[in-house]
Structure 1
Amino acid sequence: MGLDEVSQQPHDRLAAFLAADMLAVNVLIRERMASEHAPRIPQVTAHLVEAGGKRLRPLLTLAAARLCGYGGPFHVHLAATVEFIHTATLLHDDVVDESSRRRGRPTANLLWDNKSSVLVGDYLFARSFQLMVEPGNLRVLDILANASASIAEGEVLQLTAAQDLATTEAIYLQVVRGKTAALFSAATEVGGVIAGAPADQVKALFTYGDALGVAFQIVDDLLDYGGVAATIGKDVGDDFRERKLTLPVIKAVAKADAEERAFWVRVIEKGHQAEGDLEQAQALLARHGALQAARVDALHWAATARDALAVLPAHPLRTMLEDLADFVVERIR
């Protein structure tokens, strides 16, 4: 992929359009991740914050606020809040998942230890609450506090659901709406709220973020089994090896005969995996059209996100957000 093509990607166009705002967000993040008494806090935080992520969630907050005509300073605080919440959850997730790599680099828990990762994550959550209070908007505080609770709830629900073949698509959606979509929807919703946008526009921004987050996660699930894309951003089969009951597997299990169900019990519930099991899993997904069915779901959620923006004013940022919804599912079209 050439540089010209990369520059046309919607998140890159958003970043370019909002460069001045994003610079202010980055300055604020560096200020607030400092600690006078515990130097390990900025060390651990900087390792993850400066790892080269796209900062998509804070960009969504900035875009929503500007799209709704906001001219004040507090969208920067809210964007930094969203990034701190996201970073805190990543630190905690890597401990829970016993991960050793993130964004191509060693995880903080590997470089330091689990205790440091958990406690620094707690610190960032505390910082995020300090930041979200500063605009003095109770509705904003309500949205972001609820999102933080939803993320934690979704992660705990996943602990019990991820390796249980009784998990349904409804439970899967509940997990995804918690651990992934809740922060997307909060990021967009608070942008509209701080701008004083009408209720229908705020609701539309929430719907956009929620649907975008669900589509984002389903695509990730699809690509883990090879999806329908030639190039993916992670190793095929990671979720399978980690025994995660993702949407394609849930769909295949629902149609499984006794022999197939015994296979899924062995590899997912019991974790007894052998050479060739990933290929067998892929064959079962193909046999029951599970990847295609999950693809249809992802496209539906992306269309829901795009359509939600229709009530918002015509603006280059609206176009970029619409294109972002399309881009999320581009690799599985």
Structure 2
Amino acid sequence: MSANVIPLRPRAEEPSLQPMLALTADGMNAVNSVILDRMQSRIPLIPALAGHLIAGGGKRMRPMLTLAGAALCGYQGSRHYKLAAAVEFIHTATLLHDDVVDGSELRRGKATANMVFGNPATVLVGDFLFTRSFELMVEDGSLKVLKILSNASSVISEGEVDQLTAQRQIETSEERYLSIIGAKTAALFAAATRIAAVVAEKSEAEERALEDYGRNLGIAFQLVDDAMDYDSDSGEMGKGKGDDFREGKMTLPVILAYARGTEEEREFWRAAIGGHRTSDADLAHAVELIGRHDTVNATRERARHFAQRAIDAIAGFPAGAARSAMAEAAEFAVYRRF
């Protein structure tokens, strides 16, 4: 997986997610209806806990990608609504589990489900949402869709475990970091987009093109998420600033700062990532070092490379509102501040 740098280019105006939102607005209403219906249970705690996260906002990028991909392929049916809901359930389940693993206290600016309902209930409701996603896939009836989404679910889990084993490992390479985010984040982006071509009965080449778009967009998206942990306040991010730092996660801003730093700076990073320097003052020093070596901007430049790859992947599809919205969404992934 290449990590070539494409410098951020100046723009007359910031790219926006609005074209994507407009393109998928009607479809997302249908998807949200499926989500609301399928998160219900005779056990009241399940919809209460699931609703705590699902109603908490978020960009809903993954189901939007399924809808946008369907529009790009000219699909006129309705199968993609349930499948987009299945994608969102997979994503929501992983978020619930991640917050337990990380001991997170904030998600999208509000208390995490594990802080409100406790870890056991949060894990079990995450499991419930996974099962709901597979029920929706089975109802669709396509073994190919089932294979794509079930494989993505396995890859996500592998990526999360790989990230856990890399935690507090200061020697984590950029290559391994890209492999981790390619699994834990980009795999679902790729699957969400590819299944649109499957339901539209497009060629294998078109399936792969949409898959490539989603995967590269997902990598760009996660790179910028990791940059923002050292570049935004918690109000913008919707989580506590410095969470990655305190959890000892080797994200690209830190990997680059460590590589570019003096021996004294490296000694600080070894102690910090090892869990021995995690105070507010230590976080401030980490941010200062990252600023000194301009690694937030360097991370966004790498994200720009993957965003361009995403845009290039769909160049063979007909020009129009769908392709334009998807291209601007890739640009937005790089320049966003939230």
TM-score, normalised to structure 1, is 0.90
How far did 1:273 drift?
Answer: 2.9
Q: Give the Å deviation of 1:274.
A: 4.1
Deviation at 1:153, TM superposition (A): 0.8
Task: Tell whether 2:284 aligns with 1:315.
Answer: no
Q: Which runs of 5+ in 2 are unaligned?
A: 1-13
Give the alignment partner of residue 271 of structure 1, picking from 260, 276, 291. Answer: 276
Q: Measure how far apart 1:122 and its partner are.
A: 0.3
Alignment correspondent of 2:6: none
Alignment of 1:124-273 (within 5 A): 124-226=129-231, 232-234=236-238, 236-273=241-278
- Which of residues 26, 31, 56 in structure 2 aligns to 1:25? 31
Provide the rounded CA distance (Å) in 2 between the counterparts of 1:199 and 1:166. Answer: 39
- 2:304 maps to which residue? 299
1:16-67, Cα deviation, whole Å (9 max, x unpaired): 332222111111111111113x221111111111112221111110110121
Which amino acid in structure 2 is aligned with residue 273 of structure 1?
Answer: T
Deviation at 1:275, TM superposition (A): 5.2
SS of alignment partner, residue 314 of structure 1: coil
C-alpha RMSD of the superposition: 2.1
Q: Does residue 40 of structure 2 align to residue 34 of structure 1? A: yes
Asked if residue 16 in structure 1 is aligned to residue 18 in structure 2, the reply is no
Given that 2:174 and 2:252 are in contact with CA atoms closer than 8 Å, whether structure 1 keeps it comes out as yes
The answer on 1:50 being equivalent to 2:55 is: yes
Query: Any conservation in 2 of the 1:248–1:290 contact (CA below 8 Å)?
Result: yes
Inter-CA distance 317–239: structure 2 relative to 1 (3 Å threshold): same
**In the superposition, relative to structure 1, how do residues 261 and 289 fare at CA in structure 2: closer, same or farther (>3 Å)?**
same
Task: Quote the Cα distance in structure 1 between the aligned partners of 2:97 and 2:126.
Answer: 6
Provide the residue aligned with 2:90 in structure 1: 85
Cα pair 2:23 2:321 within 8 Å, conserved: no
Letter in 2 for 1:261: R
Counterpart residue number, 1:280: 285
Which amino acid is the alignment partner of residue 102 of structure 1?
A: R
Give the SS at the match of 1:15.
helix
Moved more, 251-260 or 81-90: 251-260
Amino acid at match of 2:287: Q
Distance, in Å, in 2 between the alignment partners of 1:150 and 1:34 is 27
User: By how many angstroms is 1:209 displaced?
Assistant: 0.7
**Residues of 2 paired with 1:137 and 1:331: CA distance?**
36
Aligned-partner Cα distance in 2 for 1:280–1:326 = 31
Note if contact 1:243-1:271 (Cα within 8 Å) is conserved in structure 2. no
Instruction: Name which of 272, 290, 298 aligns with 2:295.
Output: 290
Misfit runs of 4+, over 6 Å = none
When the two structures are superposed, what TM-score results if normalisation uses the length of structure 2?
0.89
Match in the other structure for 1:4? none
Q: Distance in 2 between matches of 1:250 and 1:146?
A: 29
| Partner Cα separation in structure 2 for residue 143 and residue 326 of structure 1 | 26
Cα separation, partners in 2 of 1:10 and 1:193, compared to 1, 3 Å = farther
d(CA) in 2 for partners of 1:224 and 1:307?
A: 28
Structure 1 Cα separation of the partners of residues 24 and 297 of structure 2:
36
Q: Is the 8 A contact 1:11 1:56 kept in 2?
A: no
Higher alpha-carbon deviation: 262-271 or 83-92: 262-271
Identity %: 50
Shift of 1:236: 4.2
Q: Report if the CA contact (8 A) 2:231-2:296 is conserved.
A: no
Query: Which whole-Å CA distance do the structure 1 matches of 2:191 and 2:255 have between them?
Result: 28
Question: What number of residue pairs does the alignment pair up?
Answer: 322
- Distance of 1:9 and 1:274 partners within structure 2: 36
Q: Find the residue that maps to 1:245 and give its secondary structure.
A: coil
3-state SS, counterpart of residue 20 of structure 1: helix
Q: More deviation in 183-192 or 293-302? A: 293-302
Deviation by residue 1:84-136 (Cα, 9 ceiling, x = unmatched): 00110111111111112211222111111111100010010011011112222
Higher mean Cα deviation, 288-297 or 136-145?
288-297
Cα distance between partner residues in 2 of 1:149 and 1:170: 21
Equivalent AA in structure 2 for residue 79 of structure 1: A
2:315 counterpart SS class: helix
1:255-301 deviation per Cα after TM superposition (whole angstroms, max 9, x unaligned):
34432221111111133234532333234334444334323211111
